[in-house]
Structure formats: C-alpha cells, structure tokens
A and B are shown apart, each in its own frame.
Chain A
Amino acid sequence: MDAAKVLIVDDEPNIVLAIEFLLQREGYRTEKAYDGIQALEVAEAFQPDILILDVMMPGLNGFEVGQKIRQMPALEYTKIIFLTAKGTQRDKETGYASGAEMYMIKPFDNEELVAAVNEMMAYG
C-alpha cells in the first residue's frame, strides 16, 4: 500500500515546516500550500487522504476551502482537520459545518497532532 498522503495548508511557513517534519518521520507523503487558492489546486492534483487546514489565510479562508473540497467528488474521502488559532465554540461549529472531521486549536501538541492523523488513517 502506498504511503498515506497529507496536504498541509497554512500561511505561516514555519508552522508548515514543523508539521511536515513530524508527519514525514511517521512515513506520510506530504504536500504543502500557503493560501486557500493554492490549497484547492494542490488538493486536486495530489488527492490527499488528509487535509490539515488553517483558517485565517489571505484569499480564501479555511472554512471556504473546506466547503469547496466537500463539493469535489474526487475528494469525497479526503478527511479534513482544521488547525487554527480561532478557538471559540462558534468557530468550531462553523468548522464542523464546513465538512471537517476534527478541529484542533493552535498552539498544538506535536504528539496529539500525529496521533490524530494516525488514528484517522487507521479507523477512517
């Protein structure tokens, strides 16, 4: 079986850098995008199993990206994890309504993030 694919989307390169390192050493194939529009393009080509998505980004925000992904039949099985500094209950609700499987708040814990991705790959 091919390695599972994860797309990391965040406008902060340093955060992308950290997540990339954590997932690659677990054996995942990763791709990255720095804004919402780029994220949609990469996602279509890369067909990720998991999408780690920031919310506050220039252009399209993460919620909008999530909704767009959910409308793409090719990405029907892609799971979305929001990883954002927006932490209110309302933000969470919006996040789940935009088609997310999980909503994590920054600053995150390295182990927790990795565990979440692993779990999601193991149990669907």
Chain B
Amino acid sequence: MGLSVVVGCSLAYISLLFLIAWWVDKRATELRPGIVSSPYVYALSLAVYCTAWTFFGSVGRATTGGLSFLGVYLGPTLLAPLWFMLLRKIILISKNQRITSIADFISARYGKSTNIGVMVTLIAVLGIVPYISIQLKAVTFGINTLTHFGEAAPAPKPHFWQDAAFWVTLAMALFTVVFGTRKLDPNERHEGLVAAIAFESIVKLIAFIMVGVFVTFGLYNGFDDLFGKALQQEQTARMFTFSGSGITPFSWNMLMLLSLFAIILLPRQFHISVVENTHPRQITKAMWVFPLYLLLINIFVLPVAMAGKMAFGDTIHPDTYVLSIPLSQGANWLALIAFIGGFSAATSMIVVEATALSIMFSNHVVVPLLIKTRLFGQGKDMVDGASRLLDIRRICIMLMLFLAYLYQKSVGSTYDLVSVGLISFTAAAQLAPSLIGGIYWKRGTRQGAITGLAIGFLFWAYCLPLPSMAQAGIISDEFVKNGLFGLSFLKPYSLFGLSGLDPITHAAFWSLLFNTWFYSIVSINSKPSMLNLTQADLFVNISKYIGRQDSDILKREAKVSELRNMLNRFLGEQRTIAMFQEYESMNQVKLGQQQLAQADLVNFAETHLAGAIGAASARLVLDSVVKEEAITMDEVMRILEQTREAVEHGRLMEAKNAELKTLTLQLTTANDQLKNLDRLKADFITTVTHELRTPVTSIKSLSKIILDYSDELDDNRKQEYLRILVMESDRISRLINQVLDIEKIQSNEAPLNLDTVNLSDLVRQAARGMEQMFAEKQVTIRLHGTDKPNNLRADRDRLMQVIVNLLSNALKFCNPEDGQIDVELEQSGDKMLLRVRDNGLGIPPTMQQLIFEKFTQLHSQTQGKPHGTGLGLFITKSIVEKHGGSIRVESHSVAVPQGAMFEVRIPV
C-alpha cells in the first residue's frame, strides 16, 4: 500500500474530526442543547482510556501473557459501581472550585499550594511521556506495516527528517495544538473536543470488532473452530489459562489496583471525566456504558492473538497482528480501517492527554514562575493575557511531544506497548494517596501530601524509568546490576531484597507503600495552615458547601479598579466586564471604580481567575493587589471555635434527632401496646359478661317457669329445675371468684406469700381433699415420689390452687370407664417437677397452646359442654409463672387415647 494512501486517509479522517468539533462548538455557541450533555457521549468520551495500547498492544500482550491483558480493564470495571460516590464527589468539588486539572485539584485541596501544583505537574508530565511515546510508536509502526508489509524492516535512518516517527510526532503536535488550544475557556471545557473523542471511541471500537469478526468468522468458522485449532498447538493453548500467563496473583491484584487508580488519576481521564463533565448525573449512565465498552473492545483480543500466532509464529511482532492478518489475506481495505481505528485511539489519547498536561504545565509551573519573577501580569503592557496563556500551552504541547519522541527513540523501542504504558500507570498511581486521602480524610496536610508525592515519585523513578534508560544505554547500568553505590539492597528490581516480582508490581508495591505511609505519618504530625484547614473541610464535606461561594473566613480587600485591571490582563476585557456584571446582578449592587471590593467579590474574582490559570496561580496573582488583613490569633481562635461549635451543634442536633426518632418509635410501640391491652381488656369484659349472662339466662327463665307454672310441673321436674338453679348459681360465683383471682394474681398488689413448702405434703393434702370426688367417679389416683419431703419456696395457698386445678382437670377428662390419675414429683437440678397424668382422650395438638388462654375450653367426653369457666388453666399458668416457673402439656395422640400430661416446673 502506498504511503500517500495511508497519509491521505489519515488526513481525511482528521478533517472529519475537525468538522465534528467545529459543528458541536457552533451549536454550543448558539445555545442549543449540547450534544455533550448526553450521558452516552460522556460515557463514550471516557473510552479515551482505550488507547493504541488497547488497540494494538492487548493482542501483543495476550500473545505472550495470555489473559493477563485483561487486568487493566478489570480494575476500572470493578471501580465503576463506586463512581457515584467517588467520581461524583470529585466532580462536585471541582465544579465548586472551578478546578481545571488534577494538579489543580490536589493543590487546591492542600491550601492552594503552588509547590504541590508543580509536583503533581512534574509527576504527570514525566510519568505520562512514556505513555505518549507508545502512541507515537504505534502510529509509526502502523504506517510502516501498511507500507512495507512483507518486506524487510526498513533500515534505521541516520537523520530525523527521514524518520516516519518524527513526522508523526510533528503532525500530532500540530493537531493537538489546533484542537486543544483554540480558545481559552474559563472552565476549561471543550465541547467540540469531547464530541470528537466520543466519535473516535466509536471508530476504534467498530474497527477492532471488524478485524475480530474478519478473523473469527472469515478465516475460521467461528469461535469453536478457532479455539479448537488453537487448543491443539502448545504455544496458543497456553493463552487459555491464567497460569500460562506467568503472572502471579499478587501481580494481578497490583495490575487491577493500578488501572483502578488510572481511570481517575491519569490526567486525560481526570480531564474528561471531571473537567469536561457537564452534570454529575451523567455518571449513572456511564457506570454501566463504560464497562460495557471495555467488554466489547476486548472480546476479540484472544481470537486475533491466537490467529496471528498460528499464522505467523514468531516472524512478526504480535503488536502488529491487527494489521498484519488482514494484509496477509489481501484485505487491504480492512487493514486500512484497522489502521484508522488504531490511529483514532492514538490521536484521542494524545490530544486529550497533551491538552490536560499543557493546562497543568502552564497554570502550575509557567504562570507562577512568571508571576514570581514579575515577567507576567505586571507592568503596563496591554498584551492580552489570554492569548499569552494559549501560547504558553502551545509551546508546552510541542515540548511534551518532542520529549515523547526522544523517549520513544531511545528507550521505547526496546519495550512492547503494554510494558511502557504500565510505567505511566504506576506514575499516575502516585497521586492516589493525596487525592483519595484529600477528599475523605480531613487530617491530610500540605506537608504530608508533598512528602508522600516526593517519596512515591522517587521510588517510581528509581525502579522503573531509570533502569529502562540504563538498559537503553543512556546511563550506566551499574546500579541495576549491583545496586546504587554497590549496595545490593538498592537494586531497582529487587529493592530491600524483595525479589520474584515483575518490575511493575515491584515498583508499584514499594512506591505506593512509602507514598501512603509518609503521607499519613507526616499529615498526622504536621500542623495545617488556615487555608489548608478550610479547603480540607470544603473537600471532605463538599455537600455542605454546594451552592455557596468560597468560605468567607479570610478577610481580603482590594480596590475595585485594581481588581478590574488585573482581571483584564488575564481574562481579557470582555470577560472581565461580563464577570463584573454577573456579580452585580447576583448581589444587586453597583460597583464604583474607587470602591473597596469586599471579601466575597475578591473570592468571586479568584474562582473566575482560577478557571483560567488554576487555583494556585490565581491566588498568587490576587496576592499582588489584595491586602489580606492580618488575622490575629484571637480571630483564628474565634473562627476555629465557631467551626467547632457548628460541628458540635450539628452533632448535637443529629443526636437529638436520633433520640427523638427512638422516642417516637417507643411511643408508637407503647401506644400500640396500650391499644392492644385495651382491646384485650374489652375482649375479656365481653367474654366475662357473656359467661355471666348464660347462667343468669337459665336461672331467670327456669325460676320464672317454676313461679308461673307451678301447678303444671310435677315434683320431679321441679326438683330438676331447682337443682339446675343451684348449679348455675355455683357457676356464677365460681366465675366471679376466678375473675377476682386473676385480677389479684396479675396485679402486683398481692405479692406471693413465700414460705418453705413441702410439696409432697401439699399433694397428699389435695388428694385427700378430693377423695370424695374421685370415689364418686370411680377414679383411682396414684402418687409417686411423695415419700420424701421435696421442699421449695412458694406461696402455699397458690400452689395448692395449682394442684387442685390440675387434679380437677384430670378428673374431668380422664377415661370415664376406668379413670386413672398419676401424680409424680421429681427434683431436677434447681427445679421441682410436678406431673399430673390422666388416661383420657388427650388434647389435640392445635389446642395445646390455646388451653392456657382465657376462656378456652375443651369438651369433655362425659359432659359434652364443659362446666368450667375456661379460666382454670389460665390461673394455674399465671400462678406458676409468678413463681418463676413454667407449665407445659404433653399429649401425643388423640386417636389412640394416651391421656394428657401436665408438667409444672418451679424453681426450688
């Protein structure tokens, strides 16, 4: 394929991207509903995560390391469900503070520290350069593969202008400059850019899937065929297993941890997911769309890797399989599409990454430097600060891409794509402790963050890029072999004697460990500044501050005219006027030129300025015109006291609130219980009146009959009726006594009259008292275990009542032909057991609980309708329970009469 075709297609593709960006930006200025506010566009733009590394490198990695390529995608997938907490919080903070980059974020958290801004920027730039270099490398070898497929690799060119990579770099730099620095936005939002990135995500996904489908279904008959053939060859069969990847579980976890951090901490990811975010609610959709995207783009990695390995063996670099396979089949069109896919993956990464880095570099390194050396923003020159800022960024982009080119030329060529990419991941991960600690841990201080970042960065540099440079022959490799200064525990691949890990895992382990440790320890042992404190509170408790401007703790004043002049220089005249108008209408005031601007206006100006040049720079700039009233110690104490009071108050309110809730709950429960009790009482009264009315009815009716129709009744009838009258009267008095009894037992007014009671005596006494009744019904009673005393503490009369109740029940229900009752006493541990057994029909299981309730009665087989009150067992149970004991009934079968056994247990 000719070079002109490849370059021509690439240029056409880039033109298309410009067209999209231009169209979206135009729509945005016309204030039409932004395309970028769609959550799908947001989710797709997040897929800038998938770079040329994913597009070409995953296949390469799978060829050598089997499934290990997946770790980088599993990390973000695992984190995605937590986005609505973590990412949402970061976004809310960033919108509140007009954060423009990750360096801005971390520096703002730790008191808008210039030093931290510089450090984060340096870590990011130095860490990401290798990452950019692999994009350049990927595009370059893509072009080479397309134009020189099947030929010997072109000989290295002596001059850079003969080198394809150089021209690729230059083209990319120009593209990024035009794309990323077209205008200065106060919030660093670039809708056109985001739309183009989202479009590129679709392109690379479709391109990769097309290659995958071509391989799987064109060259083979689907997955079964392809996998089946791959299984037969040893070198491809290895790819199916985790063990074949040669990666340890520890490395797996570290890989996932690194990628989990990377999805938020890589400058381009932070830029797209936070700075370019239009609304936090987009997250909920991105939470599933983005992992789905990762899944789709990874589906065909293994098939392509296997097909490539089977087709080429070791003759072609596996990173190029995506292109080589279609080329070898003569499908040049598909190879071209695949190249465009990889090209779009690389361009999207470079554009966003370089833009994000250039914002950081200009806002946190260049501008502070210029302000401090009074080269910028001072003097009376009328040069527009905005265009100057853009120039600075353009130069940054050029420099960074040049750096990446150098790295690729010197170091990058000896490593594969994924290995180089992971070096960058490890660098980005160094920001994790300061950032995550910063939004969840108020104690994190500036000093802690600086120490942690510095130590983490040093370990990273010493363990990863330096050895790789040594291996490339740029610096002496002495320290790699024997350790620094010949100290073997300083060997960069087995620090402190920790060997057996791959370099990435090893470096990540040590750098993150020391980073986190120093961040925490130094934070705990250092005193935060006032600004650090207020910013910490704002970051950790962002929900309190939503909808509020900066905190008013610091008193700052400036002349309105000076403020205006200064803003003119940085924002341009138009935006400054607009900003003042916004402030005037917001606060319903009119600002005169000589007037003194109060703290809120100064803060307002600072947040706007921060949008252009970052929080730290904005603070520096403002310091030149603002007189900060010296805060006395008293005032600090007062402010702290107020904060503390507010916090205390808040806590108190929360506690009170919780208390109130519990109280309400208790009241409701108590009320329910009362209602229940009321209902029970009403039920009881209804039942009692019914139970009373029944005998009264017979008495009234029968006595009236005797009175009215005495002459019609013979003596027998009269006798019978009179006997009924007596019986029913007895029933009434028994009922009344028992109701009173219940009242007495249940109220605590009549306590138990405790005494030492000989239960054996008591049982014998009861049996004797009822002898007459037993004899009448020809029932025999047998006592067991009454030959010894069986003493216990109890109320003698009440206990007697229990025994008599149980005996009369047994008498009522025992076998009418051959009645037999057994009473048994037994001591078991600290309990005295009293068992009363009859030989009647027994009690059906459904009734066994009910019989202890009020007014439940069983029909005895002798009398049909029972003549009890239905209160006997209830009273018995109440007495036993009042003694701290329990009562239960045992009756197995009604079909085969075995009788019922009541068992009372009372503590001795």
Contact = CB atoms under 8 A, between A and B. Distances in A.
Given A12-B694, A14-B724, A85 B705 contact: no
Contact of A18 (B694, B696, B702, B859): B702
B693 A34 contact: no
A14 B690 contact: no
Interface in A91-110: 106-108, 110
Interface in B657-703: 689-690, 693-694, 696-702
Contacts of A56: 690
Interface in B515-563: none
B694 A85 contact: yes
A25 B701 contact: no
A120 interface: no
Interface in B693-718: 693-694, 696-702, 704-705, 708-709, 712
Contact of A25 (B689, B699, B702, B709): B709
Contacts of A25: 709, 712
A50 B561 CA distance: 108
B705 A15 contact: no
Nearest to B704: A110
Nearest to A58: B859
A22 B700 contact: no
Contacts of A12: 694, 697-698, 865
A13 B728 CA distance: 12
Q: Which of A14, A22, A106, A110 is packed against the most chain B CB atoms within 10 Å? A: A14
B865 A107 contact: no
A121 interface: no
Contacts of B689: 85
B864 interface: yes
Contacts of B699: 107
A18 B717 CA distance: 11
Contacts, number: 56
Contact of A14 (B693, B698, B708, B712): B698
Chain B, interface SS category: helix
Contacts of B712: 25
A11 B690 contact: no
Nearest to B700: A107
Given A11-B865, A17-B724, A85 B697 contact: yes
A86 B690 contact: yes
A24 to B, nearest CB: 11
Nearest to B692: A85
A14 B705 contact: no
Contact of A107 (B693, B708, B724, B864): B693
Interface of chain A, main secondary structure: loop
Given A14-B698, A58-B859, A107-B700, A34 B865 contact: yes
A37 to B, nearest CB: 13
Given A12-B865, A17-B724, A34-B865, A107 B696 contact: yes
Interface in A1-29: 11-15, 17-19, 21-22, 25
Interface size range on B against A: 20 to 34
Given A85-B690, A106-B694, A108-B697, A22 B705 contact: yes
A15 B701 contact: yes
A85 B859 contact: no
Interface in B356-389: none
A55 to B, nearest CB: 9
B864 A34 contact: yes
Interface string A53-64: 000101000000
A14 B859 contact: no
B697 A17 contact: no
Contacts of B859: 58
A20 B865 CA distance: 18
Contacts of A14: 698, 702, 724, 728
Contacts of A85: 689-690, 693-694, 697
Interface string B856-867: 000100001100
B701 A18 contact: yes
A109 B708 CA distance: 12
A106 B698 CA distance: 9
A116 to B, nearest CB: 14
Contacts of A11: 865
A17 B704 CA distance: 13
A19 B693 contact: no
A59 B48 CA distance: 78
Contacts of B700: 107-108
Given A22-B705, A108-B697, A110-B705, 17 more contacts: A12-B698, A13-B865, A14-B702, A18-B698, A21-B709, A22-B701, A25-B709, A34-B864, A58-B859, A85-B689, A85-B693, A85-B697, A86-B690, A106-B696, A107-B699, A110-B701, A110-B708
Top 5 A-B pairs, shortest CB-CB distance: A85-B693, A14-B698, A18-B701, A107-B697, A106-B697
6 contacts: A15-B694, A15-B698, A15-B701, A25-B712, A34-B864, A108-B701
